[in-house]
Amino acid sequence: MTDKLIVVADLGRVKAYRVTRDDMSPTPKLDLVDDMEFTDAHGRLLDKLTDKAGRFPGNGTGPGGMSIGEKHGIQEETERRLVKQVAERISTLAKNERIWYLAAVKEINPRVVENLHPGVRATMAKNISADLIKIPKEQILSHFNGNR
């Protein structure tokens, strides 16, 4: 598994590592080649929405007689958009790879794979549902080699 690309992702970040083998070392090493963070994934929804916009006259039951209205599906829409951004970034990173590997958190893994460009999806050699984004890079290879 030398000179391959390993991509790890969650809803807010994508990291790509190049697996290389040094003639002086018996074990392959990982070099970070890309680390992209999606700012929309961070922060509370309350911080992203103002408490003034969208306020409507209420029925008098709430404080101040104003209603804040409902934000129908805003979290789902944000997550859908982030999944597409993650898949787009992975597609860009892996588009020239003959073989590459993916680890994405369980909650988004199938949707990320579904949103990959078809040619990129076809060259993916291994896909695991795991959150490897924060583990030390020295431990990532063991998840793909089965030596856990």
Across-strand partners of 35? 15
β-pairing, 66-67 with 100-104?
A: unpaired
Predicted local distance difference test score (pLDDT) of residue 38: 85
Does residue 51 belong to any structural domain of this protein?
Answer: no
Number of domains forming the structure of the chain: 1
Does residue 83 belong to any structural domain of this protein?
Answer: yes
Predicted local distance difference test score (pLDDT) of residue 147: 47
Predicted local distance difference test score (pLDDT) of residue 47: 52
Predicted local distance difference test score (pLDDT) of residue 74: 83
pLDDT averaged per 10 residues, the chain (length 148):
86 94 83 89 52 53 55 82 96 96 97 97 96 94 75
Please give the structure tokens belonging to residue 106.
Answer: 């369980």
Residue 23 maps to which CATH number? Answer: 3.30.420.60
Predicted local distance difference test score (pLDDT) of residue 148: 47
Domain region containing 8: 4-42+72-140
Does residue 96 belong to any structural domain of this protein?
Answer: yes
User: What global pTM score does this model have?
Assistant: 0.77
Distance CA 59, CA 90 (A): 48
Please give the structure tokens belonging to residue 120.
Answer: 């990129």
Burial class for 29, CB neighbours closer than 10 Å (0-12, 13-18, 19+): middle
DSSP state of 65: G
